[in-house]
């Protein structure tokens, strides 16, 4: 059973470009969540700061971490490896700090299956439409049309995992989406009433996948 003194774990996943990194940063800044810093074998983007956005490592170092069983979860995403090391997460949770994870559905599944003794809330973020997703990816990864195409193709597969999450939230207006997530987390912690419409989400997913 989770203890009231422990922190909680909140996972945000989404198809690439839907806005989870932006939302994770907002939740961390405004609500004091600790962001779990992942390890990855991907090369840093221009805007990224090593040891803040990710621990950037080579394949050899990543394999060493796997062999030492340091990961609570890890997965291959877009031809690179990504993983979350266990010790900093557990240390923070035991100190009563809430921890946010920006990880994909494979990592979310692995953490869920571990059934750790900490409260876990999972969110899947969706874009308002495929056109808007394309625009956001194009703006972010401006120099690399191939990356945008690859991620738009992956969208069709990634979106199917919405069903395995506690809540699905549409990131249209950023502030509204942030508040929605924050209110759902508060409702979960305080067992309050939730402003959540599963039928609306189901029909939005149908629109995105038709």
Count of residues interacting with ligand ADP (CB under 6 A): 13
Distance CA 129, CA 15 (A): 12
- Options 2, 21, 70, 106; binder of ligand ADP; rule CB under 6 A: 21
7 counts as binding ligand 5GP under rule CB under 6 A: no
Least distance (Å) between residue 1 CB and ligand 5GP: 26
Beta carbon nearer to ligand ADP, 89 or 169: 169
Distance CA 13, CA 144 (A): 23
Give the pair of three-digit tokens for residue 99.
Answer: 């921890």
Distance CA 77, CA 199 (A): 30
Q: Give phi and psi for 83, each to the nearest 5.
A: -160, 160
- Options 10, 75, 125, 137; binder of ligand 5GP; rule CB under 6 A: 75
User: ∠ at Cα 172 (167, 164), nearest 5°?
Assistant: 20
- Options 7, 19, 83, 127; binder of ligand 5GP; rule CB under 6 A: 83
Distance CA 137, CA 135 (A): 6
Angle between helices 145-158 and 130-140 (to 10 degrees): 140
Least distance (Å) between residue 155 CB and ligand ADP: 11
Q: Are residues 8 and 118 in contact, defined by beta-carbon separation less than 8 angstroms?
A: yes
Least distance (Å) between residue 93 CB and ligand ADP: 23
99 counts as binding ligand 5GP under rule CB under 6 A: no
Least distance (Å) between residue 82 CB and ligand 5GP: 3
Beta carbon nearer to ligand 5GP, 3 or 50: 50
Kindly list the residues in this chain that would bind ligand 5GP in the complex (CB under 6 A).
Answer: 13, 16, 38, 42, 73, 75, 77, 82-84, 102-104, 106-107
């Amino acid at each position: 059973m989770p203890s009231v003194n422990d922190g909680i774990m909140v996972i945000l996943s989404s198809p690439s470009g839907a806005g989870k990194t932006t939302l994770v940063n907002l939740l961390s800044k405004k609500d004091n969540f600790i962001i779990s810093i992942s390890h990855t074998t991907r090369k840093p983007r221009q805007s990224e700061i090593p040891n803040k956005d990710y621990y950037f490592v080579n394949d050899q170092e990543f394999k060493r971490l796997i062999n030492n069983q340091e990961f609570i979860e890890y997965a291959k995403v877009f031809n690179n490896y990504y993983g979350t090391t266990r010790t900093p997460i557990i240390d923070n949770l035991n100190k009563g700090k809430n921890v946010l994870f920006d990880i994909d559905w494979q990592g979310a599944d692995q953490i869920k299956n571990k059934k750790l003794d900490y409260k876990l809330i999972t969110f899947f973020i969706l874009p308002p439409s495929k056109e808007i997703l394309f625009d956001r990816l194009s703006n972010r990864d401006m120099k690399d049309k191939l990356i945008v195409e690859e991620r738009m193709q992956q969208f069709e597969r990634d979106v199917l995992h919405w069903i395995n999450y506690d809540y699905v939230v549409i990131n249209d207006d950023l502030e509204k989406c942030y508040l929605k997530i924050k209110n759902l987390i508060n409702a979960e912690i305080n067992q309050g009433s939730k402003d959540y419409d599963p039928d609306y989400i189901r029909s939005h997913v149908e629109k995105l996948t038709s």
